[in-house]
């Protein structure tokens, strides 16, 4: 069942940070964090109790899953793959999530939210290296070129995203607005990723 708009706002309020789940609304004064910067529920305004280490780890895990819109089982699979790769597991996990096709469409400003990006991919509007790809979780590699179908270039979401600007395109991507073409020029490192999450706490959560 799709998550309602209000439910997405409650997710941001629960985590205490903007997860950018509702596109342009998150950049406006209508953002729930701007208007009600406290957890949802009847005790939301009450002084916060001291949280345990486990609770902090759980919150970070939930924050990352909700940001990238990934369910528990595939999230565990990403973590397992991150552990197999060289380097720091938490940073590898972020790298894998960042290079998902739906997230990349969002990062290229071709969608105002990751939910909208997933819909664009599902509806076969996206080409990777000239071939149609409709799998949001498709992992991109260095050198991959992302373009839009010719009949998709004037879709309102893309025109709105391009005209509105708003998001900085990260250094691991290159983008031409004229041709609506993006390219992966490097694998994202932690300093290129602006996701507000303590990834090491997530690794510790699953190591319990």
Residue 199: give its domain's CATH number: 1.10.1050.10
Q: Are residues 1 and 76 in the same domain?
A: no
**What are the pLDDT digits (tens) for 7-52?**
656 666 565 665 666 555 555 556 655 666 656 655 556 655 667 9
| 119 and 181 both lie in a single domain | yes
pTM of the model: 0.77
Taking the C-alpha atoms of residue 189 and residue 206, their distance in angstroms, rounded to an integer, is 22
Alpha-carbon span 112 to 164, nearest angstrom: 9
Whether residue 35 contacts residue 26, with contact meaning beta carbons closer than 8 Å, is answered with: no
Are 114 and 135 in the same domain?
A: yes
* Domain ranges, residue 92: 53-64+71-99+195-208
CB atoms within 10 A of CB 71: 8
Neighbours of 205 (CB within 10 A): 18
Claim to verify: residue 127 and residue 79 sit in the same structural domain: no
Query: Any residues with CB less than 8 A from the CB of 8 and at least 6 apart, and which?
Result: 19, 21, 22
Are 106 and 179 found together in one domain?
A: yes
Domains held by the chain: number: 3
Q: Are residues 208 and 140 in the same domain?
A: no
Q: Are residues 5 and 42 in the same domain?
A: yes
Q: Give the end-to-end CA distance of the chain in Å, rounded to a whole number.
A: 31
Q: Which of 59, 58, 64, 62 is nearest to 93 (CA)?
A: 64
Q: Per 3-state DSSP, what percentage of the chain is helix, strand, and coil (rounded to 5)?
A: 45, 10, 45
164 and 130 co-located in one domain: yes
Same domain assignment for residues 1 and 75: no
Question: Within this chain, do residues 171 and 108 fall inside the same structural domain, yes or no?
Answer: yes
Dihedral, 57, 63, 66, 70 alpha carbons, nearest 10: -40
The enclosing domain of 112 has a CATH number of: 3.10.290.10
Q: What is the DSSP letter of 191?
A: G
Q: Running along the chain, 208 residues long, what does each successive block of 10 average in pLDDT?
A: 56 61 59 61 58 92 96 97 97 98 94 92 96 98 95 74 70 90 97 95 94
């Amino acid at each position: 069942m799709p998550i309602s708009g209000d439910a997405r706002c409650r997710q941001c309020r629960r985590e205490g940070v903007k997860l950018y789940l509702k596109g342009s609304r998150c950049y406006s004064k209508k953002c729930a964090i701007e208007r009600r910067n406290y957890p949802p529920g009847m005790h939301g305004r009450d002084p916060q109790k001291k949280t345990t280490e486990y609770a902090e780890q759980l919150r970070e895990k939930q924050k990352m899953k909700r940001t990238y819109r990934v369910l528990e089982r595939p999230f565990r699979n990403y973590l397992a793959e991150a552990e197999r790769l060289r380097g720091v597991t938490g940073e590898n996990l972020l790298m894998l999530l960042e290079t998902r096709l739906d997230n990349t469409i969002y990062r290229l400003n071709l969608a105002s939210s990751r939910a909208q990006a997933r819909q664009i991919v599902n509806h076969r509007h996206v080409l990777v290296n000239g071939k149609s790809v409709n799998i949001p979780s498709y992992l991109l590699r260095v050198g991959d070129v992302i373009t839009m179908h010719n009949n998709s270039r004037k879709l309102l979401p893309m025109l709105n995203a391009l005209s509105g600007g708003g998001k900085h395109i990260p250094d691991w991507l290159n983008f031409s607005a004229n041709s609506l073409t993006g390219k992966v020029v490097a694998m994202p490192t932690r300093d290129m990723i602006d996701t507000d999450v303590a990834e090491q706490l997530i690794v510790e959560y699953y190591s319990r």
